[in-house]
Structure 1
């Protein structure tokens, strides 16, 4: 086995480069044809399609409710903040949605996910699209660890399990309608910023899960994975307040993002990054990880290893003197 591993280590890297360059032109041409096809194709008609949106009381979820409402979709809005949800539902109706129901549910609880899926199907008779938007987050990293998981587990429970639970409950109905799942991840899933480690990890887990699910489901259910950048929401504003350097990054409005998500999902896209210029961060991270790490440490004022060592040395000297 050791000999086989050595052979693979030696042979596969150059073979993979040959294969990469061989396939690059055909894949590029295929993508160009897909792009041209999208230019001439009309978007999916969402009129009277049943759409569930989690975390619909504010932010991206609220704007998605309005965007789908303008397209005449039937809406099932899910959140734990019922007072805000009522106002969102009223406006969605005024914008053109024929029927809107609101459901109080905590997506981090499996029984609540069964509840909002069952109530939606019982009311409308079908389910065409599940938008896993509910999410929470706040700046947190290893330095915030105080041997208590109560500050970390809610983020993973809502951001990851909140999407997975709802998806598992909805899959049987989406198979029937040949529907679509939209999951809101983040650019931070593949270009993580410091002091947001738990949030970054929860969003990265979403991408891994839904890419795997897409393979398992085949062509039965479409899946669009959205990786937004810095968005003008409560969470985005909180991040800017905590980290001043983030204020230099242009923010996208939640309404603009919602329109982009709807159009992308109607086209059947597998991925959407908004704003699109942030796509350049992915190859930067993959090809030059050392440069990316150094740049982030510099931007966020994180001391280098050498500085930490010198500081420790000074501290030890000071203790000896004292």
Structure 2
């Protein structure tokens, strides 16, 4: 027993630290790193006056990506389900430098809503230059603990199909503007994370799909993936 206690005393502290890092601090670290990547990306390209459509723009990464574009003078079309939050993000974006901002409430998992996001953006601005596919939901449950397997569907519907639906309708307009598709993926697509099985699969699907789409659309439309 003494030997067991000694081993546990040696192993438990570093294991506890690793556990806390993975489940508490690592997502924050990835969030900051991703925003820094976006910031560096925007410093290279002049986006003043360009029209940028951002999904999942009501909070988190999408909200802060909107602010980064606003600081550079881009016009914004902000998409999310929560209209009240979109109003706040839109007002802040105007104060930061966006001349024109519209909000389009809706759900990226619904095909008709995705058609609406593009049509209303084109109707208002006459073009779209950047499509930022950011909308996503997370997972914090073991795969075997889903009460029924269908409960996992919203994760894939939002993280994967929510991006591909809107991309499909945006492509003709992005081709006219020689525009760009930016995909916010995740390190979970490459790194195995417990309680994130379906989430990891959805992000891996994004990487595979957009890597192939990049070849199909080259050179008319650029495709960039952020998977930090």
List per-residue Cα deviations over 1:218-274 (Å, max 9, x = no partner).
Answer: 21111110113xxxxxxxxxxxxxxxxxxxxxxxxxxxxxxxxxxxxxxxxxxxxxx
1:148 Cα offset (Å) = 4.2
1:137 Cα offset (Å) = 1.2
2:109–2:157 contact (8 Å) kept in structure 1: yes
Higher relative contact order (CA 8 A, sep 6+): 2
2:139–2:195 contact (8 Å) kept in structure 1: no
- Root-mean-square deviation (CA), in Å? 1.3
Q: Which residue of 2 aligns with 1:93?
A: 94
What secondary structure, in the 3-state scheme, does the structure 1 residue paired with 2:183 have?
strand
What secondary structure, in the 3-state scheme, does the structure 2 residue paired with 1:52 have?
strand
Distance in 2 (alpha carbons) for counterparts of 1:96 and 1:147: 47
1:105 Cα offset (Å) = 1.1
Distance in 1 (alpha carbons) for counterparts of 2:191 and 2:166: 26
Distance in 2 (alpha carbons) for counterparts of 1:44 and 1:189: 27
Pick the structure with greater CA Rg: 1
> How many residues get paired?
187
Unmatched 5+ residue regions in structure 1? 1-41, 229-322
List per-residue Cα deviations over 1:108-130 (Å, max 9, x = no partner).
Answer: 01110000100001100011000
List per-residue Cα deviations over 1:97-116 (Å, max 9, x = no partner).
Answer: 00000001100011100001
Q: Which residue of 2 aligns with 1:62?
A: 63
Q: Which residue of 2 aligns with 1:154?
A: 154
Give the TM-score normalised by structure 2. Answer: 0.80
Q: Within 5 A, what are the aligned runs for 1:39-118?
A: 43-118=44-119
Distance in 2 (alpha carbons) for counterparts of 1:108 and 1:146: 22
1:194 Cα offset (Å) = 1.6
What secondary structure, in the 3-state scheme, does the structure 2 residue paired with 1:120 have?
helix
What secondary structure, in the 3-state scheme, does the structure 2 residue paired with 1:152 have?
helix
Unmatched 5+ residue regions in structure 2? 1-42
1:132 Cα offset (Å) = 0.3
Q: Which residue of 1 aligns with 2:131?
A: 130
Distance in 1 (alpha carbons) for counterparts of 2:97 and 2:143: 47
**Structure 1 moving runs of 4+ over 6 Å:** none
What secondary structure, in the 3-state scheme, does the structure 1 residue paired with 2:131 have?
strand
1:43 Cα offset (Å) = 2.1
Q: Which residue of 1 aligns with 2:141?
A: 140
1:187–1:227 contact (8 Å) kept in structure 2: yes
Distance in 2 (alpha carbons) for counterparts of 1:142 and 1:58: 27
